Amino acid sequence: MEYLELIAPCHFGMESVLKREIYDLGYEISQVEDGRVTFLGDWEAVVRANIFLRTAERILLKAGTFQARTFEELFQGTKEIPWERYIPADGKFWVTKATSVRSTLFSTSDIQSIIKKAMVERLKTVYHQEWFSEEGASYPVRAFLLKDQVTLTLDTTGESLHRRGYRIYKSKAPLTETLAAALLMLTPWRKDRILVDPFCGSGTFPIEAAMMAANMAPGMKRNFLGETWENLILEELWEDAREEAKDLADVNIRPDIQGYDLDSDVVRAARENARLAGVDHLIHFQQRPVSALSHPKKYGFLVTNPPYGERLEEKENLPALYRELGERFAALDSWSAYIITAYEDAEKYIGRKADKNRKIYNGMMKTYFYQFLGPKPPRKKDE
């Protein structure tokens, strides 16, 4: 087996969720840092991680790591990496992104330029040519500098993994699919429990929940950049992983997953997204205000991303909206609620202090994941 170190970036604070996912896929974790998990695997691991991981943003192949406090050290360190192991003579390569945190080198444009030059010099020597056509497959490089430690990676994913391939329609303030999946995994919700999102927007929470309930791999319906790396990854690995995903999925289940929104156009968009995801038969979407939130059964879950009030006129409506949400939640029998919002007075107007609260960055926006815990249902007696 060819030894590879793979890095899976994720939302800050979601490392434990991603770590559990990677373990469940059968791979060994080598390091957990803020916003990323590094694990060990082979080329099959690259394929399966892209197709099966719900909470990773992308899968990066670590090409090398070294210390650099000067641009000369950056150049020489990059040049030492055996890029020819991955990039063929006609490969297209560039530094798509560079990030520098608490490092001496901080100009990302200069970092990108020097890494590219060093890669060219390395490959000139190996392939004995002065010019590269770069007409072949793409091998984008991502660079991370942290406290002068440089890590260079190749992006196997392409478009971020939050793009599952189903979302055509978006609401005004959508959660990414990867964050929605991670938040669901932070709750005790399982497919045999009720889940309701009264502010469903484009349907992200209900759709991700339905895919989890049906054990549908999130990458089943999309392509990945690594599929073009014919020099590295056999086509049959992609075929086998997709076949595995198909075999594991169970779309014949009947979960109780519901999504509501006040806007009829938004509800139509959510239904279409669910159809494209292949889970429209697993979710009940309905145009309904939060004031009509109710359910006759016990021990359900309210998981939602209500309005934050980014515009001034919307902010004025938030106290009444959150008060109504709190009242309807209180009327539900033995339910739990998990609410992500940037509204700092959420607990005040919901009328109850959260049992747990996590600070989470949704993009650049600071949000809070309020967790109101209901009682656990009684254990089912063994028949």
pLDDT of residue 301: 98
Given a contact cutoff of 8 angstroms between Cβ atoms, the answer to whether 17 and 55 are in contact is yes
Phi and psi dihedrals of 42, rounded to 5? -115, -165
Closest CA to 83 of 113, 111, 121: 121
Q: Which residues of 39-58 are buried (b: 16+ CB within 10 A; e: fewer)?
A: bbbebbbbbbbbbbbbbbbb
Residue type, 37: V
* Residue where the block lists tokens 């049959």: 236
pLDDT of residue 22: 98
Residues in the chain predicted with pLDDT less than 50, given as ranges, are: 383
Task: Please give the structure tokens belonging to residue 44.
Answer: 């099959």
Copy the structure tokens of residue 63: 């090409």
117 in the Ramachandran plot: left (φ > 0), alpha (ψ -120 to 50) or beta?
A: alpha
Confidence (pLDDT) at 383: 43
Question: What residues are paired with 367 via a beta bridge?
Answer: 360
Question: According to the model, what pLDDT value does residue 64 have?
Answer: 98
- φ and ψ at residue 285, rounded to 5 degrees: -100, 145
pLDDT (0 to 100) of residue 314 = 73
The 3-state secondary structure of 256-315 reads CEEEEECCHHHHHHHHHHHHHHCCHHHEEEEECCHHHCCCCCCCCEEEECCCCCCCHHHH
Q: At what angle do helices 71-80 and 108-127 cross, to 10 degrees?
A: 40
Q: Is 274 within 8 Å of 206 (Cβ atoms)?
A: yes
What is the distance between the alpha carbons of residues 19 and 27, in angstroms, rounded to a whole number? 10
Cα first-last separation, the chain:
46
pLDDT of residue 347: 97
Q: What is the pLDDT, as a whole number, of residue 52?
A: 98
Structure tokens at 284: 């009940």
What is the C-alpha separation between 24 and 306, in angstroms, rounded?
Answer: 32
CA separation (Å) from 194 to 74, 251, 294? 53, 17, 12
Residue 305: closest CA among 191, 220, 207: 207
> Distance of CA 271 to CAs 128, 200, 289, 374, Å?
56, 11, 17, 29
Q: What Cα–Cα distance (Å) separates residue 292 from each residue in 263, 302, 331?
A: 14, 14, 11
